[in-house]
Structure 1
Amino acid sequence: MGGVRWRRIASQIGRSVTVWAVATLTMLVLAGLLPDFRLRSADGDSATDIAVTAGLGAGAFGLLSALVWPLLVRLLLLVPALVLGLLVFFLNGALLLLALRLNPIESGTAAWETAVVVAAVMSAVASATGGALAVRDDDAYRRRLYRLAYRRRGSAPPVPATHGTVFLQLDGVGHDVLLHAVDRGLMPTVARWLGAGETRPPSHRLTSWHTDWSSQTGASQLGILHGSNHDVPAFRWYEKDRREVMVCNRPTSAVELQRRAARHTGHAGLLADDGASRGNLFSGGAGEQALVLSITARRRTRENRSRSGYFAYFSDPANAVRTALSFGAEVVREIAQSTRARWTEQFPRVSRGGLYPFVRAFATVVQRDVVVAAVMGDLLAGRTSVYADLVAYDEVAHHSGPASRDAEKVLKRLDRSLALIEHVAEHAPRPYRIVVLSDHGQSPGETFRARYGLTLGDLVRAGCGLPVPRRARRTHSGAEARAAVRAALHRPVEEGAEQYRPPRGSEPVVLASGNLGLVSFPDVPHRMTKEEIDARHPALLPTLANHPGIGFLLVRSERHGGVVLGAHGVEIPLDALDDAPGPLAAFGPYAADAVRRTHSFPHTADIMVNSFHDPATGEVHAFEEQIGSHGGLGGAQSRPFLLSPVALSPAVAGAAGPVGAEHVHRVLRRWLAESGDFARPTYPGQERAA
């Protein structure tokens, strides 16, 4: 036993000496290449003195990185993540300058900008060397992972031997997109789980599920994590009683939505029993949270730190440098890809300038790295359940298209993240089952504005007789809307005629959530009826319903309770949609129930507008500037997936998958209960079959 211990100590010393030697050699090479980095005094030094200077400098830099860096990161937890990523280089450079000043020989100097470069290179080289040596030594790798686990769990009770469950959400990846990626060899880890091209049986089964009408992360994740997405009609909507626009990814809105869901279900959420929530909009009731939007608007405490995941990751300077370098590379990659799209005249496309390259780099690099590291720590800490959201694909697909080469490259990197998490789970103190799922898909298509030359807001204003921008007036749609207004008001059809102006204060609030639009009149305290809208704006509903870019409308009716409106005067009561789906026929068999459910929400807009959908191509017209969109009905956006271990029961008994995010929540709760450490909830609605 003592011999094994001494061999481990010798191995650790050997690795440390090797890393130090490589760092020293790196410093010598950089001193020879960079004119502003000097390891000798002004009057010259011997080769021995230079080597000693490099060795002492590399050693001091390594010690400062290990001791001082974590303290600096903890002090900077309140700094925005994008700023922190940029500060990494400068902080690392400052540590190098300090290391040179502490050198007793006092012959090393470096310009500030050169110190930044040298520190970044040395950190990257030291990380690569240490990682390579540790990977070759399984015992060392395992001990390194367990140290991370002990730091994260602290003095927690012993880990049970039952299975834990990890839920990994690949944001925006549709069922068909996943299958296509597997067929093309882009996701070998998922392919292996499904048994694709192998003789051994699959370890996982793939099931599609159907979203609610609001096919977006806010509604889906709230339903999945908290069991209720009641009264979430879209990604953003106007609440007349509060005179406030709710936005799912706004911290204050997320807090309110989570509170409503908990009150509606009477349960804290999916992760309430020893769970961890990573990178999500909502906490799911988890006691361990990091990068969770719904807690950033509340006062942070020791038990409730939304940015603890940043500290856990960036406390290692090598992680910080590697992520910062990858961040910069991703910015360059996005600029190159968008430039290529313009030069080759790819169509459709949207603007990708401004801050978008940095937003994309944050989503595809920083968020991914921090969340994956947090999940690894949770596995090694033995937590019962973990739910993490990886948003990289969704962000890129919005601007490049869901089937683009740019998005496919992101899928490859996400697959490597799944493989890494699977590998770490093998070293966890308890067995784990990995469930991969998505919250929605994405539907391709030209934007509404690009196709018709005006926005949904322009069309609504024109239908109300309100002034619209000159570019919108000149379009065919704008001209038709103005003509319809004049005809409805029995005014002469003259181009120079004075424009009708509705009563002051009645201008509509028009909001877009992918290809779902919402129109509300804030001066009317209740949800307006079709009859009230026709009396005030007689041309509005016909203008919208007859537009070629709009599939159908939902409005409240005094006579029928609720009606779906389509082109050419089609008007179908909600109760008759099963027998006569009318314009909903193109949106699939679950559309009628989804529309009826949304109609029952207290904060459904006065007019709900769903864009046109082509069943043959799967295309929709987003009311936002996105060529890959989600938020309404139509196409792949409504068909996400569940990829679950075969050891768990099937999601549903039949061939069809779960319908609605609340149904998925009940399925996930059942799977947690099957692991043996989870009690079934008793909140209302749980008695329904999962």
Structure 2
Amino acid sequence: MAAPRVRSHLGAGDGARLLVAWLASAGSLGVAAWLLPGLEVDSFRSLLLASAVTGVVGLLVRPALVRVTAYVGWIAVLLAGLLGQALVTYVALQLVPGVSTTVSAAVAAAWIVAATGSAVAWLGIAGTDDAFVSALVRRLPPAATVEDPDVDGIVFVQADGVPFPVLQWAIQAGATPTMRRWVTGGTHVLREWTPQLPCTTPASQLGILHGTVDRVPAFRWYDRELGRLLVANRPADAAVIEARASDGRGLLADDGLSVSNLFTGDAPRWFLTMSRARVARGSAHNRRTVAGFLADPQGLMRGLVHTVAEIAKERFQARGQVRRDLTPRVHRGWTFAGLRAVTNVLMRDLNTSIVAEEMRRGRRSIYVDYVDYDEIAHHAGMFRPESLAALDGVDRVLGTLERLAATAPRRYHFVVLSDHGQSQGQPFAERHGTDLAGLCARLMEEQVESVDAPVEGWGRADAVAEEMAAPGIKGHLAGRAADVTRRHLGDEREDDQRGAPAVSVLGSGNLGLLYVHGPTRLTLDELSLRWPDLIPGVSNHAGIGFVAGIDVAGRPWAIGRTGRIALDSLEVEGTDPMAAYGEHAARVLRRAVLMPEAPDLYVNSTVDEGTLDIAAFEPLVGAHGGLGGWQDRAMFLVPRELLGSLPEGRIEGADHLHRVLVGMLTSLGHRDGIDL
């Protein structure tokens, strides 16, 4: 089925909506004149003329404003976003006879007009399929001339955390119209793939972008080589992780772009990418992109209006869960409401603008991560209405990008994939009255450091703050913002670990990691000698499915309440503790346990075979990281034209998926000389 195309002409409906917007702008300017003593207008005709002139002046002034502010620095970019429209309004009002204003009145009037205009646009224009597309087309540069227009491009869209069964249901129900059209029209095929343990974004994205899942045992872990905690979505730590994995031949090495990811995939260009956030501080191109987004009233003001609406919607939905006594659920406060607004409004629009601009420039490959569904499902649950609405939001982005691709200098294919799935259930601490660190501390009779605060969403805010920061005065405020987000990441410490407990227990969804600090890993035998009650006490707990580690001979074992399994030979003594987790569970756990960076003891919660409920060691209702439920059931929506690159059997592991995606690029004529 053919994709809707971007129209190059105005229809009757467009003319009517433009007329409504013009009248609304004039009316809001009249309200501003009535409210503000420094703004005077002698007639409605002058209001109409002032509104029209403001639009024309904006078209002339904003491009120059964007270039100047991008050259000066990030603070100027922010000021342009906040005050740029005020400058446009002031200049326009000075040109219109019958209107007089002061600078302060022009600033206030600009905000009143922009807020009113955004509200009207949201009701009368932004609700149409053409609205956001038209706004982006107006803002984008002219289509570039590329040397190889016959080489098709690929846009990889990561719908973060969407389980295969959830997307399959959404497509069947018609809740994702764009993806349903692709599947029912025969242009795309929906497949499932299996992430390896740990089922987290850092492990999966490193595998997808760089072809290796090694050296990442969880979302955060105690790194014995560095002697400190590594948090994968802290920019400095993401840089360390990527440096260990990169060989220069990543997925995006051939004229690629990384947008809002943890790692670059060796792309020559990146934006809001954790591992390069500090490097990107000095990028004038990045500043120019953000300045163009913020300086346009449809960018900043639209974002602010929708942000306020998203916060209000979140607070209403959170209270609704309490009123209806929905379970499982977790507390959802104002902090999460603000974070949700950032990820589901500002970041979504900014990411889409960046991808649209780079398609217009003819970028060969783009990989962008939309975290909308994952972030909300963590706090609301996988099938809750707000989570499914976020999935619909990603689907609408796909429709927007598909239509914008029609204006690009090369043809683009869209590959949609998730990095992992999700499972849900009541958090471990709420269900059992103690967190995992408390359980281990009691059994070991030791002081144990607990690290279980949710960190995924705050990492996005940290990347934004880091990219905005710059040396000297210009970066002072943004640097302060980065410090605030680090506190939410639970990692205020640097390399100095003096005075910290000798044992750390970290939560990564329903996967727990116990580390005894030091340069070497302790075996199951050594743990049993030092703390005889630890392994039996944890493995026999009602909320624990199994613990795993290596014995003195280096052999990997998983131990449950009534039996254990040798993960290398699959020999079972007693009852198989892995039976409830699927036939692949022992295989993926073996790889994780044998990783040198693995903890002294992995701990995985139980899974209810009826409801598939797990118990996260973090305060989250939807979680991923370990085994059980749908967290290791990821989805993959591939164009039928590229099916030749897919293997016949199961895709297991992000490193395997990386090879499949590289095959797609190669089949289109990419990667000349890279894989030699």
* 1:294 corresponding residue in structure 2: 275
CA contact (8 A) 2:195 2:204 kept: yes
In the superposition, relative to structure 1, how do residues 277 and 220 fare at CA in structure 2: closer, same or farther (>3 Å)?
same
Distance 1:578 1:91 in 2: 69
The amino acid of 2:35's aligned partner reads: D
Q: Residues 270 and 104 from structure 1, CA distance in 2 versus in 1: closer, same or farther, beyond 3 angstroms?
A: same
User: What does residue 224 of structure 2 align with?
Assistant: 240
In 2, distance between residues paired with 1:91 and 1:647? 45
Distance 1:46 1:87 in 2: 30
Match of 1:330 in 2: 310
AA of the residue aligned to 1:70: V
Distance 1:11 1:440, change over 3 A: closer
Counterpart of 1:70 (choices 61, 66, 69) is: 66
Q: Following the alignment from structure 1 to structure 2, what is the Cα–Cα distance between the partners of residues 66 and 123?
A: 21
Matching of residue 583 in structure 1 with residue 565 in structure 2:
no
1:612 aligns with 606
Q: TM-score, normalised by structure 1?
A: 0.80
Kindly indicate whether residue 612 of structure 2 is the aligned counterpart of residue 628 of structure 1: no
Q: 430-439 or 555-564: which moved more?
A: 555-564
Determine if contact 1:220/1:440 at 8 Å carries over to the other structure. yes
Aligned AA (1:435): V
In the other structure, the counterpart of 1:208 is 192
Contact 1:124 1:318 in 2 (8 A): no
Q: 2:235 aligns with which of 251, 268, 280?
A: 251
User: 1:387 is matched with which residue?
Assistant: 367
Q: Which stretches in structure 2 are left out of the alignment for 5+ residues?
A: 1-7, 450-498
Partner of 2:25 in structure 1? 26
Equivalent in the alignment of 1:564: 558
Residue 646 of structure 1 and its aligned partner are, at CA, apart by 1.1
Aligned partners of 2:128 and 2:384: how far apart in 1?
A: 38
- CA contact 2:49–2:96 (8 Å) conserved in 1: no
Matched, 1:148 2:140: yes
SS in 2 for 1:222: helix
The alpha-carbon distance between structure 1 residues 60 and 92, as it changes in their structure 2 partners (threshold 3 A), is closer
Query: Could you say if the C-alpha distance between residues 357 and 146 of structure 1 is closer, same or farther in structure 2, counting changes exceeding 3 Å?
Result: closer
Q: Distance in 2 between matches of 1:418 and 1:578?
A: 47
CA contact (8 A) 2:260 2:351 kept: yes
CA contact (8 A) 1:278 1:388 kept: yes
* Partner SS for 2:426: coil
Q: Distance in 2 between matches of 1:133 and 1:467?
A: 58
- Summarize the Cα distance change of 1:130–1:442 in structure 2 as closer, same or farther, 3 Å threshold: closer
State the partner residue of 1:492: none
2:624 & 2:375 partners in 1: Cα distance?
A: 12
1:228-276: CA deviations, max 9, x gaps?
12110100100123111111111011111111111xxx33310111111
Deviation at residue 602 of structure 1 after TM alignment? 1.7
Q: CA deviation at 1:677?
A: 2.8
**Which residue number in structure 2 is paired with residue 274 of structure 1?**
255
Aligned to 1:666: 659
User: Which whole-Å CA distance do the structure 2 matches of 1:38 and 1:54 have between them?
Assistant: 20
CA deviation string 1:419-472 (max 9, x = no partner)? 111112223222221111110010011110111111111111111124699xxx
Q: Is 1:439 aligned with 2:409?
A: no
The answer to whether the 8 A contact 1:331-1:358 is kept is yes
Choose from 396, 404, 421 the match for 1:424.
Answer: 404
- TM-superposed CA distance for 1:614, in Å, is 2.1
Residues 495-506 of structure 1 mapped to structure 2, 5 A cutoff: none
Q: Paired residue for 1:513? A: 508
Please say if residues 77 and 311 of structure 1, whose CA atoms lie closer than 8 Å, have aligned partners that are also in contact.
no
Give the structure 1 partner of residue 531 of structure 2.
Answer: 537
Q: Deviations over 1:616-666 (max 9, x none)?
A: 322111000111100111111101011111111356443x42100000000
- Figure out how many residues of one structure are paired with residues of the other and give that number: 612
3-state SS in 2 of match to 1:408? helix
Give the equivalent residue in structure 1 for 2:383: 403
1-structure distance, mates of 2:438, 2:129: 60
Equivalent residue for 2:49, pick from 26, 49, 55: 55
Is 1:163–1:675's contact at 8 Å kept on the other side of the alignment? yes
Kept in 2: contact 1:218–1:281 (CA 8 A) = yes
> For 1:56 and 1:146, how far apart are their aligned partners in 2?
21
Partners of 1:536 and 1:545 in 2: how far apart?
A: 17
Go from structure 1 to structure 2 and tell me whether the alpha carbon gap of 1:148 and 1:186 turns closer, same or farther (over 3 Å shift). Answer: same
Q: Which residue of 1 aligns with 2:111?
A: 116
1:642 to 2:622 alignment:
no
Is the alpha carbon distance of 1:113 and 1:344 closer, same or farther for their aligned partners in structure 2, counting shifts above 3 Å? Answer: farther
Q: 1:106 to 1:242 in 2, by over 3 A?
A: same
Residues 614 and 620 of structure 1 are in contact (CA less than 8 Å); yes or no, is this contact kept in structure 2?
A: yes
Can you give the 5+ residue segments of structure 1 that lack an aligned partner in the other structure? 1-7, 196-200, 470-503, 684-690
> Deviation at 1:412?
1.5
- Aligned to 1:214, the other structure's residue is in SS state coil
Match of 2:457 in 1: none
- Residues 487-532 of structure 1: CA distance to partner in whole angstroms, max 9, x if unpaired? xxxxxxxxxxxxxxxxx9764111111111111111x431011222
Alpha-carbon separation, structure 2, partners of 1:76 and 1:130: 34
Assess if the C-alpha contact under 8 Å between 1:620 and 1:634 holds in 2: yes
SS in 1 for 2:358: helix
C-alpha displacement at 1:103, in angstroms? 5.4
Instruction: Kindly indicate whether the alpha-carbon contact (under 8 Å) linking 1:39 and 1:53 is maintained by their aligned counterparts in 2.
Output: no
Cα distance in 1 for residues equivalent to 2:204 and 2:317: 31
Matched residues in 1 for 2:340 and 2:127: separation?
A: 30
Q: Are the aligned partners of 1:462 and 1:468 in contact in 2 as well (CA < 8 Å)? A: no
Deviation at 1:536, TM superposition (A): 1.6
Distance 1:209 1:309, change over 3 A: farther
> Kindly tell me: are residues 134 and 440 of structure 1, through their superposed partners in 2, closer, same or farther at Cα, counting changes over 3 Å?
closer
Contact kept, 8 Å, 2:427 with 2:620, in 1: the verdict is yes
Q: TM-score, normalised by structure 2?
A: 0.82
